[in-house]
Amino acid sequence: MFISFEGLDFCGKTTQSNLLVDRLTALGKSVVYLREPGGTHISEKIRDILLDLRHSEMTAKAELFLFSAARTQLVSQVIQPALKQGNIVVCDRFFDSTTAYQGFGRGIALQEIQAINSVAVEGTIPDLTVFMSVPVEELLRRQAVKKGIDRMESSGKEFYERVLKGFQSVAETEPARFVVVDGTPPKLQVHNAIWDIIQQRFSNKLS
């Protein structure tokens, strides 16, 4: 079982993915938790490059290829072996972020994004993607209380509005895989809503 969490920065997806991992682990399930970009030595090095504020000259396509390079390393080195061994994989971001951020956000042609995503993931697609939906205004409010932001987080309101439209577009296109969860209530209320969805979708694998 492969579950990914998606959404804007500061939407709560990292908190919720960790809460899900804790709950699955408490049930005795073997869970591999990952983040993107990251999860391997090479991918973490690429993450450092992508998020460094000093790299403001990075082009949109360089950004696209770096995210995809980190992803393909993660897929081949960690995700595919973990799934073959029967583990549950929970990933904080996956290829939908590339569609939303580099496609809708940066303006790279979606057919190019789709082709590169396809090469990077080698047919490895989440069984369920949880989209944590928060308004851009809430993102900016949460961002304002954080001490320091990275290169991606400094992209601005108009960028995030385009990214949000991207996630909404994917959700409409792939309703069987994508579920939309309101990320604004208290975290335990959000977690319970996600857990209800997991139980409905995967009751046979949780028993």
Q: Where are the beta strands (DSSP E) in the chain?
A: 2-7, 31-35, 88-92, 128-133, 178-182
Can you give the pLDDT at residue 145?
84
Question: What percent of the chain clears pLDDT 70, i.e. is strictly above it?
Answer: 100
- 185-198 confidence digits (pLDDT tens): 999 999 999 999 99
Q: Does pLDDT of 7 surpass 80?
A: yes
At residue 144, the pLDDT reads 85
Fold of 2-206: Rossmann fold (3.40.50)
Average pLDDT value over all residues in the chain: 96
Query: Where residue 204 falls among pLDDT bands split at 50, 70, 90?
Result: confident
* 200 against 145, higher pLDDT: 200
18-54 residue pLDDT tens:
999 999 999 999 999 999 999 999 999 999 999 999 9
pLDDT at 203: 86
Residue 160, pLDDT score = 94
- How many whole angstroms separate alpha carbon 137 and alpha carbon 51? 22
pLDDT at 206: 83
Identify the band that residue 163 occupies on the pLDDT scale cut at 50, 70 and 90: very high
- In sign, the C-alpha dihedral spanning 177, 183, 185, 186 is positive
pLDDT at 148: 83
Tell me whether strands 88-92 and 31-35 are parallel, antiparallel or unpaired: parallel
Per-residue pLDDT reduced to its tens digit, 93-104: 999 999 999 999
Mean pLDDT over residues 4-11, rounded?
96
Quote the pLDDT of residue 8. 95
| Contacts for 32 with CB less than 8 Å, ≥ 6 apart | 78, 79, 82, 87, 88, 89, 90
- Residue 78 and residue 64: Cα distance in Å, rounded? 21
Average pLDDT over residues 159-187: 96
**Domain limits of the chain?**
2-206
Distance of CA 105 to the CA centre of its chain: 15
Q: Which pLDDT belongs to residue 1? A: 95
Q: Considering the entire predicted model, what is its pTM? A: 0.95
